[in-house]
Amino acid sequence: MTPSSTPRTSRTPPRRSVGRPPLLTRPLMLRFVSMIGASVSFFLLLSVVPAYATASGAGFATGALMLSTVLGELAGPRLVGRYGHRAALTAGLVLLGAPALVLTLSHSLAWIVLVCLVRGLGFALTLVAGGALTASLIPAGRRGEGLALVGVVSGVPSLIALPLGVWLAGRVGFTPVALAAGVAALAAVASVAGLPGRERAPGEPVGMVAALRTGALVRPAVVFATTALATGIIVTFLPLAVPAGSSGVVAVALFVQPAASTAARWAAGRYGDRRGPAGLVLPGLLLSAAGMLITAFTGSAAAVLTGVAVLGTGFGIAQNATLSLMYARVPASGYGTVSALWNLAYDGGMGVGALGFGLLAAPAGPAAAFAATGVLMPAALVPALRDRAAAATPPVPAGCPAKRPAPTAD
């Protein structure tokens, strides 16, 4: 707060700071309820459904889930624009929760795939509609810190629900876990009624086609996808890369990586609110690449733990910085599209990383493939440096990408 030039007297009440608007408002707290419900519902069954489908159908189940999630993310912005955030978020929670209640009615692979397709679409809608709504509830001056808090609120339930689902399924069976996942999403529907209704957002609508043609949005997404690629590789292949008998190291490493990511995401948010997020994209990428190179020394527990900590730090920085940048470069009407594009980068990066690494690791071995990935990741320096240069140009009107008009609807 800037001190008043007038001496304070008994007739002059203290001036309240207006520099930092409140972050934890009632609507944002209500949004956390639907966020936790969706996260718990999705991650409780993420590893349980493949086990229920047995080995022959596990790949089909997961593939159907991720395919429909990606397709839903592509269609999500249009649905949000037509029906509004609350309607789309409600539909997403229902589509995520209701099929889980009937998952175990049949062991048929076709039935399981159908359930996964519907749930993937529902999860995508919760990401796109919920992400856009969340962004609108966070003060612009505290966007980085707010997005970091959102990452914690959505991330902690996923860290707990993923192993909990597998543990419960082994002790009480698949049906109770499926019912719990369904109830978690459906119970959260009640919180949506307290969220802000549909309002006409300022600015022209931003469609996915326009967003994919806008370098100011695509460049951060590509950089983030590269860090997500590395994270997907670690989560999927680290248990196979370390020497036999080192399961304890793997368990600790898979905790250290998301813990470091969460802490870094929070720190990056606070820094970005004060200095701007543009300068954090490059460090996030370089730290992620360095983490992959260090983790390549899979025979050393110290190297593995250090590597995943460095990778997690870079990933957390990149998560916050890229999403903050992308939201800042569109009008409020484009928040749904930014949410969809960023989540596509997340899902696509992790999927491509797992697939490409598997092909590379087969002939070269996991350790060599880790090192090769770390060497190749700096290729994303090209869009990162271009974006940094674009960010250094003179400012343009709010909501418009640098040197470009605001994207239009596709």
Q: Cα–Cα distance between 243 and 260 in angstroms, integer?
A: 24
Distance CA 182, CA 45 (A): 10
Q: Report how far residue 188's alpha carbon sits from residue 34's, in angstroms, rounded to the nearest whole number.
A: 5
Q: Is the pLDDT of residue 356 over 60?
A: yes
C-alpha 252/C-alpha 231 separation (Å) is 15
Greater pLDDT, 309 or 367: 309
Domains 24-196 and 206-392 agree in fold? yes
- Six-digit token string for 375: 């060497």
Q: What is the mean pLDDT of residues 130-151?
A: 87
State the CATH architecture for 24-196.
Up-down Bundle (1.20)
Q: Average of pLDDT values for 380-386?
A: 92
CATH for the 206-392 domain, from 1.20.1250.20, 1.10.10.10, 2.40.160.50, 3.40.50.300: 1.20.1250.20
To which H or E segment does residue 353 belong?
A: helix 335-364
CB burial of 250-283 (b: ≥16 within 10 Å; e: otherwise) equals beebbebbbbbbbbbbbbbbebbbeeebbebbbb
pTM given for the model? 0.75
CB atoms within 10 A of CB 318: 34
CB 321 within 8 A of CB 384: no
How many residues are listed for the chain in this entry? Answer: 410
CB 102 within 8 A of CB 115: yes
DSSP for 296-325, please give it.
Answer: T-TT-HHHHHHHHHHHHHHHHHHHHHHHHH
What's the pLDDT tens digit per position in 55-111?
Answer: 667 668 877 888 888 889 888 888 888 888 899 999 999 999 999 999 999 999 999
Rg (CA), the chain: 22
Of all residues in the chain, the percent with pLDDT exceeding 90 is 37
| Domain parsing of the chain, residue ranges | 24-196, 206-392
